[in-house]
Amino acid sequence: MTSTNNLPNREDYVAKVLQWFVELPETPWRSRQPDLVRAAELHSRGVGLEIVESALLLGSLRRLSRPPDHPPLRPIQSLAYFLPVVEELIETPVDANYLDYLRHKMRIYAGQKRARKCG
């Protein structure tokens, strides 16, 4: 967890979190009011952006890397889906190299959302 003194202002923080959320392959194209509330709560708690980004990437990648013979999961509807992963990473933070790894892995899936909309 990060001190709120080290966080961007609330508006910038919430905007960044919501941007990351809607860019994920299995999330809505737009955030909703409850997502804004969850992002603002994370800011109020002092949760660092690196933890939030890591949680979004890790939670999404866990879903995307499921074995192909498993039934498909429903799309993620809310930022709240990722809150347990945020808590996990607060308890056991990952280092910056792992965040870079998660970003790299997500690039593999980057086109899936566009393909879903066009398909």
> pLDDT digits over 12-42, tens only?
999 999 999 999 999 999 999 999 999 999 9
Q: Rg (Cα) of the chain, in Å, rounded? A: 14
How high is the pLDDT of residue 96? 86
Residue 15: domain span? 4-118
Helix residue ranges, H only, the chain: 10-23, 33-45, 49-64, 83-91, 96-108, 112-118
pLDDT-based confidence at residue 115 (cuts at 50, 70, 90): low
61 pLDDT exceeds 70? yes
Mean of per-residue pLDDT scores for the chain: 89
Reduced to 3 states (helix: H, G, I; strand: E, B; else coil), residue 86 is helix
How many separate domains does the chain show? 1
63 pLDDT exceeds 50? yes
3 pLDDT exceeds 50? no
How high is the pLDDT of residue 80? 98
